[in-house]
Amino acid sequence: MSTIGPLAATLPVLRPDVEFFLGPDEPDGSPSYVIHDPLRGTFEKATWIQAEILRRLRVPTTPECLLQQLSDGTTIKVSEEDLTRLCANASLKGLTMDSRVADMRAWQAQQQRPRADALVTCFRKLAYLRIPLIRPDAFLERTVGLVRHLAGPAALTAYLCLSTIGVLLLAQRFDAYLATFPYFFNVPGVLAFVFAIVAVKVIHEFSHAYVAKALGNRVPTMGVALIFMFPMAYADVTDSWRMRGRRKRLLIALAGVTAELVIAGLALLVWALSPVGLLKSICFVVSSATLISTLLVNLNPAMRFDGYYVLSDLLGIDNLQSRSFAVTRWVLRRHVLGMEVEPPEVDLSARRLATMVVYALFAWAYRLFIYSAIALMLYHRLTKVIGGLLFFVAIYSLLVKPVVSEMIGILKMRRLLSWNWRTIAAASVCGTVLGWALLPISRRQALPATTTARESQIIYAPGDGAIRDLDVGLNSSVREGDTLFVLESRELECEAQLARLEVQRIGLELAIIKNDEKQRALLPRKMEQLTRANAKLESILIAIDGNRFIAEVDGTIVEWDESLRNGTPIGTRQILGQIVDHHGPTVVCYVRHDLISDLATGDRVYFCSDARPGRLPGVVTFIDPVRTSILEHRGLSSVAGGDIAVTPDAHGRLEVVDSYYRIDVTLDSPADTLRVGQTGRVWVRTAPRSRLADLFRYCHSVLVRESSF
C-alpha cells in the first residue's frame, strides 16, 4: 500500500451545490447514499461512512477536529490514512473547492492519464457521442397528464391481450413472415427500416421521459447519440438516481422496451389480419425493426442500454460493469495466481461472486465482438482508414491494454506471489498454451471434400424428337458402346425420304441423258447434281444416326428422369441423367493457399464421410497448380452450408472468395456404401509449423493485400 502525504492544516471544503440523496440499502442492511454533482451531471454512490465524513466538509475544519467529531457523535472509527485517501479522492473528482489534501503523485497520474490514453479516449468519443437537441422538461410537465392514461392498468391489459394474439398469429405464419425479409433487401426497403427504427426510437425515448417525469424527476435534455456514427435517440433521465427505491428506477428503465414491445405486438396483429398491400408492408417493417432493435440492442445487458440498468437493479448491484470487472481481476489474482489481496467488496457471497464474474466475461467478449464487427463493416463498406483505425483501437482498448495493465499490476505486486498449487497450475496452463502456439508442431488438418466419379457421362438429348427403343432406367448397368435410346425425328425422316427421291430422280435423268446423243452435253452437270444430292442424303443419315445416344463408359445410371417413356418428346440438349463408372467414387478436396506447400503427390490421407462413421485411407494423386476460381461442387460452398466461401456470379456460377486449390484423392478400397456426392473431410498431416508464425504470416498478407503494396 502506497503511503499518503502528510495532512494539511485545513481539510478541503465541499462545494455547496453538491447534493446527497439516500439510496437503496446495502446487502448487509446499512444505508447507502448517492452524491450528485450538478456541474458535471454525475451521480456517485457512497457508503454511509463516506457520506457522513463528506457532509462534515461543508465548513472549513482540520483533520483533528473532524476525527474528534466522528469519535464523539458517531460510531465511525477511521484512521488518518483513510481520511486522507477519502479527501484526496473527493478532490480529484472535483467535489471540493481546493485540493490541498490530494496526494501529489496521484494528482500527477490523473493529469497524465488522458495523454497516455488519448487513443482510447478518441475511440470512446467516436464510439459514443451525445448531441443534445431539445430541453423537453417543460413540455413533459404540461403533457404528462394527457399520456398518463396510455400506461394505466386497463391500457396495459389491453396491450397484453392484443400483443399475445399477434404473437400467436405470428407463430402460425412464421414461415411467411421470414419469407418477407428478402423483398426488403434493396434501397427502398433499407430506407423503410431506417425510418421505422427512427420513429420507434423516438417513442422509446419519450416513454422513458414521461415515466421519469411522472415519478417526479427532471428530464433536462433529449437528443441524438452517435454510436460509431450511427444515430440513436436518447433522453437524459440520470435524475432517476435521486430516487431511493430500485423499483421506480426499474420502471423508468423498462418504459422504452415496454413501449417497443407493445408497438411490435400491435403491428404483428395488424400484419396477420390485413390483406396484402401497403398496410401489411408497413406493419411488417415496424414489427421486425422493433423486435430486432429491442432484443439485440436495448435488452442486451453487455452494453450500457436499458438491459444493463434493468439487470443492475434486478441484481441490486449499482455500477455493475465496473464492479464486476474489479471482482473478476480479484478472482484472477486470488484464486488463479494465489495472491493474498483484499477483495474489492466485502460480504461477497458465492452466488453474487459467480454472477459478477460471468457478467464481466460476457460483457468483455460481447463488446470485443461487436466493436470489431462494426469496425470491419465500416472498413469494407465505407472507408478503410476509419474502419482500420477503429479496429486496431478496439483491439488495443479491449484486449491489449487490459492484459498489459493487469500484467504491470501483477508485477508491481510480485512480492505477494509465491509458489503454490494455484501458481503452479496457472504456470503449467500458460506454458502449455505458449508452447502450443510457438513450437513448430506437425498437426492434422481437415479439408472440405466430396466424392465424385472417376469417369462419368452426362446423358442429354442430342436433338429434338421423341424417344424410342428405350431399354434403360435408374440404376441400369451399361457398357461402353451400348445404345441407350434413339430419338425419332419426323422432320429428319421426311428430309431423308425427300433426299432419296431426289437421288432416284437425278439417277433416272442421268440414264436418259447417257442414251441420248443430243443431251450428252448435260452429263457433267447432272453428275454434279447427283453428287450434291448424295452428300445431302448422307448428312441427313448422319444426323439421324447422331440421334442414337451411345454410352461412352462402363458404369451405372445414377441419375435419370423417371418420366421418360417411349414416345416422350424431348428438346435439344435436355439433361436426362448421368452414368458413373463401376470402380467406385474418388475424392476431391480443396486446400487453402497457406497449406498447399505442405502437401505432395503420394501423401497418405484419410477420408471421413459425413454420412457414415469411420475413416477410409487413400493417397493424393493430383494437386492442381492453378487456383480454383469457380467451384464445381456446390455441396462444399457456403451457400449450401459448406466451408468454402463463394459468391454467385451473373451466370449462376460459384466464384471462390479465398484462394483454394483442388486435390484429387484415390481411396485404397472405397466402401460399398460410399456414393457420389457425399461430403466429408480429408484429414492430412501438415509439416511442422508454429501457429504464432502462421498468424503473423496471415496478418502480414492481409496488411499487404489491403494496403495495395
216 and 131 belong to one structural domain: yes
Q: Which amino acid is at 501?
A: L
230 and 269 belong to one structural domain: yes
For residue 202, being part of any structural domain is answered with: yes
Q: Which amino acid is at 686?
A: T
Q: Tell me what pLDDT residue 661 has.
A: 92
- Size of the chain, expressed as the number of residues it contains: 709
- What does the DSSP assignment read for 314-339? HHT-TTHHHHHHHHHHHHIIIIIS--
For residue 691, what is the domain's CATH number? 2.40.30.170
Nearest to 586 by CA among 502, 669, 705, 691: 669
285 and 150 belong to one structural domain: yes
For cell 500500500, what's the residue? 1
Q: Tell me what pLDDT residue 110 has.
A: 47
pLDDT < 70 stretches in the chain: 1-9, 25-30, 39-42, 98-129, 182-186, 227-230, 244-245, 374-390, 394, 456, 462-463, 488-493, 496, 517-518, 520, 540-547, 573, 582-584, 670-673, 702-709
For residue 427, being part of any structural domain is answered with: no
Q: What is the mean pLDDT of the chain?
A: 77
80 and 134 belong to one structural domain: no
- DSSP SS3 for 143: helix
76 φ/ψ angles, rounded to the nearest 5 degrees: -75, 130
Would you give the DSSP letter of residue 573? Answer: T
Percent of the chain topping pLDDT 90 = 3
pLDDT, tens digit (0-9, with 9 covering 90-100), for 461-494: 766 777 777 777 777 777 777 777 777 666 666 7
pLDDT, tens digit (0-9, with 9 covering 90-100), for 566-578: 777 777 767 777 7
Q: Tell me what pLDDT residue 445 has.
A: 86
203 and 291 belong to one structural domain: yes
Q: Which residues pair with 559 in a beta bridge?
A: 578
User: Of the residues 115, 145, 160, which one is the last residue of a structural domain?
Assistant: 115
Q: Tell me what pLDDT residue 101 has.
A: 43
290 and 326 belong to one structural domain: no
17 Cβ contact list (under 8 Å, min separation 6): 38, 39
For cell 481437415, what's the residue? 446
Q: Which amino acid is at 452?
A: T
Q: Tell me what pLDDT residue 88 has.
A: 79
Q: Tell me what pLDDT residue 105 has.
A: 46
615 and 545 belong to one structural domain: no
For residue 342, being part of any structural domain is answered with: yes
For residue 440, being part of any structural domain is answered with: no
131 and 275 belong to one structural domain: yes
For residue 489, being part of any structural domain is answered with: yes
202 and 302 belong to one structural domain: yes
For residue 436, being part of any structural domain is answered with: no
- Number of structural domains the chain divides into: 5
544 and 598 belong to one structural domain: no
Q: Which residues pair with 417 in a beta bridge?
A: none
Nearest to 652 by CA among 667, 674, 668, 637: 637
Q: Tell me what pLDDT residue 273 has.
A: 86
Q: Tell me what pLDDT residue 183 has.
A: 66
504 and 648 belong to one structural domain: no
Q: Tell me what pLDDT residue 108 has.
A: 44
For residue 2, being part of any structural domain is answered with: no
209 and 305 belong to one structural domain: yes
For residue 300, being part of any structural domain is answered with: yes
**What is the domain extent for residue 90?**
19-115
637 φ/ψ angles, rounded to the nearest 5 degrees: -85, 160
User: Of the residues 260, 293, 315, which one is the last residue of a structural domain?
Assistant: 315
User: Of the residues 418, 441, 464, which one is the last residue of a structural domain?
Assistant: 418
Cα–Cα distance, 124 to 131 (Å, whole number): 15
3-state secondary structure 220-282: CCEEEEEECCEEEEEECCHHHHHCCCHHHHHHHHHHHHHHHHHHHHHHHHHHHHCCCCHHHHH
Contact in structure between 101 and 7 (CB atoms under 8 Å): yes
462 Cβ contact list (under 8 Å, min separation 6): 487, 546, 547, 549, 572
